[in-house]
Amino acid sequence: MNISIGVMCYNEEQNIAQVLNAIINQKEKEVHIDEIIVVSSGSTDRTDEIVKKIAQKNRRIKLITETKRNGKSKAINIFLREAKNNILVLESADTLPNDTTIEILCSRLKNKKVGIVGARPIPIKTKNKILSFVVKLQWELHHLISEEKPKFGELIAFRKIVKEIPTTAVDEEEIASMIKRKNYELVYEPKAIVFNKGPESIREFLRQRRRIYAGHLKLKKKTNYETATLKSMKILSKLFRTKICQRNILLTTIAVMLEVIGRSLGVIDYLTKKEHDIWKISESTKKL
């Protein structure tokens, strides 16, 4: 199975070498990483320089630069046009996969009925103990929900049956909605681990949560596709099943309050038609 991996980035000088090396060093058996396409959208730091240096030693890496930052969805469309294989992987530039993650993820696409597969994000610890707890709880809840209905983000593998995606703030879920409309199955693979880092400030956390929730609301209105985590009651129903919640009720209460605030702000953004397709970067998440 030959696959193309796309890495969309903007000012990722602190992470891009790590993620590219992690992809290059993947253990491959039945899956072959044929090409790695990096789309750098108006980066003003050393991102392009670092990618070019690594590409000199590995011909599979191809750098495409945009002179202006036009948003992640437009960068993804460049990847969709340039990728030569029928199985695609989209990885966020601020994440790190395990050495077998790509193999495990793409293997699920052997089933011709499956159109997209989502990995399991696991956050690394941060200096902010409160937000470290909040983010860990958040992703644990997303894991429990995804076991019943897949949620997509951070790292996905999918069939090249989508030629272009619309402008969106929730690109992975947008792709999932388009694939579902073509009657393919949506799958979650918890063994495909990818590490990421959550925000270290409340301001960044709320900015991230409001953007995602507003994007999910917009996606539902436009396509009638409902993301697995859209309904708050569904998340609450899973909350007390988590061991992390049972160990610290106080921090769990703080986590719930922050999520409520983030979603409330997202509703306001959705109703006022505030666009989030080009969003402000959370700097603290860029230091893995």
What pTM does this model have?
Answer: 0.93
Q: DSSP string of 229-287?
A: T--HHHHHHHHTT-HHHHH-HHHHHHHHHHHHHHHHHHHHHHHTT---SS----GGGG-
Q: Residue 116 is encoded by which pair of tokens?
A: 């997209």
For domain 2-286, give the fold: Spore Coat Polysaccharide Biosynthesis Protein SpsA; Chain A (3.90.550)
For residue 219, the SS3 value is helix
**42: phi > 0 → left, psi -120 to 50 → alpha, else beta; which?**
left
Q: For position 30, what pLDDT does the model report?
A: 93
Each residue of 99-158: pLDDT tens digit? 999 999 999 999 999 999 999 999 998 888 899 999 999 999 999 999 999 999 999 999
Write the CB contacts of 277 (distance below 8 Å, at least 6 apart in sequence).
71, 72, 73, 167, 168, 169
Write the CB contacts of 243 (distance below 8 Å, at least 6 apart in sequence).
none
Any idea which of 193-197, 235-239, 251-255, 258-262 has the lowest mean pLDDT?
235-239
Between CA 217 and CA 244, with CA 238 as vertex, the angle to 5 degrees is: 115
Are the CB atoms for 155 and 97 separated by under 8 Å? yes
pLDDT average, residue stretch 55-75: 95
In the chain, where the domains are located: 2-286
Q: For position 246, what pLDDT does the model report?
A: 66
Strand positions, DSSP E, the chain: 2-9, 32-41, 61-66, 87-92, 96-97, 114-123, 155-159, 185-196
Each residue of 206-256: pLDDT tens digit? 999 999 999 999 999 999 999 999 988 888 888 877 777 767 888 889 999
